[in-house]
Structure 1
Amino acid sequence: MWNALLALQVEPGKVLQVSLPDGQVHTLVETAGADPDGIVVDSGTVYWTTMGEPVSDPDTPGEAGKDFSRRNGGIHALDFDSGTRRDVLAPGTITTGKQLTSDGAGTLYWADREGHRVSSVRTDGSGLTDLVVTPATTGIMGECVGVAVDPARGHLYWTHKGPTKGGQGRILRAGLELPAGDIAESRTDIEVLWSGLPEPIDLHLEGDWLYWTDRGAPPSGNTLNRSPVPPAAAQGETPEILADGFREAIGLALDSEAGIAYVSDLGGHLYAVSLPEGPVADETPREIAAPGPLTGLAGLG
């Protein structure tokens, strides 16, 4: 069971450590970079992505007025024991770093939203590889946001959130390895598992279940969802909504031992959601902390 969470505060960019017993919030990294979004802990090191500094339109308030199409995102790391900080990929190597995950064997995977791709790299910064690249002509429909990997089955999952509150979100699957003769821009093994979702964001794979946050329009949006992983060439089942009422749900971390999913939102809240098979039967999200607008989450034992 976890004793703390790492949460990314998007503005100003910080890595926060939240104590689960009492909800106390401490700053682990004061200057995490411009608009951090995805975070994962692997072998004593915390890694996170940054979306980079956007170009803001003063006449358009909020997120809608921010253009993240400049290539100034990166991936960064902090070693817990030594306190050493480094860039895995320096700012400008990627466009817009979104959710980040690991295979537990030295490889990081992330979605690059305005970069229209899902990529991987070794934790030492070597072996940068594009796994999926969607055509620029697809616009917002080709922007990748959430990512999960299943090394045991050799699968990669990712989300296309689609237009804001547009009801055109999708969750897709392909192999972790490119099929022989394929390139990232034209893979032949991509499956669309779910379509017509409100606005799916971050993913988490746990056993035979796929969990995700959705920041779309209620009643199906601003929710925590799950559904069984579909077999090959099959469509996903209708998602089960585990909790709702979030304010732009983004981050997701699941402590299976405790039977709790943690969800963060851009409204600045961090919640605990009891899973149906967990020790506590409670469908109402429990607020842990409210430290400001949050994106990615990761658990600490």
Structure 2
Amino acid sequence: MGEREGEVVCVTGGSGYIGSWLVQLLLHRGYTVNATLKNLNDEKETKHLQSLDGANQSNLRLFQMDLLNYDSIVAAVTGAAGVFHVASPCIVDQVQDPQLQLLDPAIKGTINVLTAAKEAGVRRVVVTSSISAIFPSPNWPADVVKDEDCWTDEEYCKQKGVWYPLSKTLAEKAAWKFAVEKGLDIVVVNPGTVMGPIIPPAINASMLMILRLLQGCTETYEDFFMGLVHVKDVALAHILVYENTLATGRHLCVEAISHYGDFAAKVAELYPEYKVPRLPKDTQPGLLRTKDGSKKLKELGLVFTPMEQIIKDSVESLRSKGYLS
């Protein structure tokens, strides 16, 4: 157990893919966790959390929360020293009603969580943003590697109808504005495409990408992909930036900045028995590759899992959960 024995933190979206990994690692470090989920009466949201190592009624408390219902957030945040705001809808497929499905929960939800945190006297809030708040950014200089100074082009997203990157960009900008105006200490993690072992019973959007690829899908996710990252590394990144007072600003969180085509080629090489399509080499036009995209997190001590291991862990998990034969 860590030196944080008994410190109370709140994880919004605690039953989700990143959230459940984060809850698991926080419990392991001795924290008491208030985890929020959509429905306390749904075993698909509660059972996998309650069966985590070290979870008991005194150190894991589950709260039903709606991002647009302020009072439900207050209940979960009260008494917490820190908040990890992970909850945000993720849809990379066709979106029917962007405002209702993505923009409102992401933007208003973030402001509601930050407001509740400020009122409750929370010391630090870690906001889970995304590389989708960094990319697509077609006007970024072609010879410069994308980093934390880069922001997604909002107009491009509106014109192309890519609503998820728009939701993450607007939510993160709203968070920074709130932090400055209200004097709240926030720090941000911007994960790439998150893969690896699945704790919840349901499959999430990013793991669906590798499942579809193995089934022969030729989609290249032109506006959504900037590199892979292991789900455990994402959870660790959140804890690192929470515990380290020197961590400030945004933190790009990818194993490497790479193209979806690089990922597809590696999957095909590792799993020749599946019908993985041959994709163009450059699937993300104008994106410069680098092994060293996440310098800030590396300086905090994070050692990233390499792409090959992320793929192996993902396929293993899909098989064990019955998604792949």
State the TM-score, normalizing by the size of structure 2.
0.29
Normalized per residue, which structure has more helix? 2
Higher relative contact order (CA 8 A, sep 6+): 2
State the TM-score, normalizing by the size of structure 1.
0.30
- Rg (Cα) greater in structure: 2
